[in-house]
Amino acid sequence: MAKFVLTDPVIVFAGSTITSSCASVTVSLSADDVETTAFGVAGGYRTRIGGLKSGTVDFEMHQDFGASGIDSLFFPNLGGTVAVKVRPGGTAAISATNPEYQFDVLVTEYASVDGAVGDLATTSVSLPITGEVTRATAA
Amino acid sequence: MPSLSDIRTGLATNLGNITGLRTSAFVPDEPKPPIAIIFPDNISFDTAFARGLDTYTFSVQLIVSKVSDRNAQSNLDAYCNPDGDSSVKAAIESDRTLGGLIQDLRVTEVRDYRAATINENTYLTVTFVVTVYA
């Protein structure tokens, strides 16, 4: 896969595809920075090892109160754990060059209304990942 | 996704709720006032992933009687009102999905209230800006 413009990712939240309601998605993963500096380190530089990993997923969405819209997916799951899948490369089959990130999130926040007069109704969330993140390369 | 022509036609249909106002989804050769003509101004594609949403901006140009007509300005004022039988905003927003064709729309502003020369005649015109989410 070459460089590409992000227009058609697959985004699944709680079993429902929410791609066409999303304007932005960010999967951010990190590892703790654990210092191991001891006396006598070479050159006087600190040393480190990677610690526990964690992550968040951010969505910017167009709000929709329809029967299977955004509100119907987020409001009932507030406080719960939900499965999320993000395949940046699009709807082609999962492969080594079109990986899908699969994980669970804890729904810690949800703004059902977020906008000013005349604005398109939107809502944004930043949810912590709970448990392992899988980078699937085969269906 | 709806076509541009379908959206223009839908806007013209809503404007048809104003008694006595001619409407045209497309630019006529010789407009006969009072008439509302719908022009596409701008289209922003891909405001959501997977072709989920595009944002259109339309101009609806209203042409009324000649400037020399004593009633021209009062007629135009009535079309500019935010509500009432002659309100362009109220007519366009009378069906904000154009019969399910689009997601939503809003008349955001009135501008360019002025005289304009068309086919060697001077008319009063005004432009309404309409934002369409489709």
- Give the mean pLDDT of B82-111: 97
How distant is the Cα of B107 from the closest Cα of chain A, in angstroms? Answer: 10
Q: Which residues neighbour A104 within 8 Å (Cβ) at sequence distance 6 or greater? A: A81, A82, A83, A84, A129, A130, A131
Structurally, chain A folds into a number of domains equal to 1
Q: Give residue A107's pLDDT.
A: 98
CB nearest to A118's CB, from B48, B50, B106 = B106
Per residue in A63-114, pLDDT (tens digit) is: 999 999 999 999 999 999 999 999 999 999 999 999 999 999 999 999 999 9
Q: Give residue B66's pLDDT.
A: 73
> For residue B79, is pLDDT > 70?
yes
A65: CATH: 2.40.30
**Which residues make beta-bridge pairs with A17?**
A12
Structurally, chain B folds into a number of domains equal to 1
Query: Do the Cβ atoms of B124 and B115 come closer than 8 Å?
Result: yes
CB nearest to A21's CB, from B48, B104, B108 = B48
Burial of A127 (0-12, 13-18, 19+ CB in 10 A): buried
**DSSP assigned state of A107:** -
Among chain B, residues having any CB pair with chain A shorter than 8 Å are 46-53, 55, 104, 106, 108, 133
Containing domain of residue B122, as a range?
A: 4-133
B102: CATH: 3.30.70.1700
Predicted complex ipTM: 0.88
How distant is the Cα of A97 from the closest Cα of chain B, in angstroms? Answer: 20
Distance CA B84, CA B96 (A): 17
Per residue in A35-72, pLDDT (tens digit) is: 999 999 999 999 999 999 999 999 999 999 999 999 99
Burial B81-100 (b: 16+ CB within 10 A, else e): eeeeebbbbbbbbebeebee
Both structure tokens of A93 = 């089959």
Containing domain of residue A57, as a range?
A: 10-136
pLDDT category of residue B68 using cuts at 50, 70 and 90: low
Q: Do A62 and B50 touch (CB under 8 A)?
A: no
CB nearest to A9's CB, from B46, B47, B49 = B49
Query: Which residues in chain B are closer than 8 Å to A23, comparing Cβ atoms?
Result: 47-49, 53
Residue A3 lies in a domain: no
* Residue of chain A whose Cα is closest to the Cα of B106: A118
Residue A4 lies in a domain: no
CB nearest to A22's CB, from B48, B104, B106 = B48
Q: Side chain identity at A8, as an amino acid letter? A: D
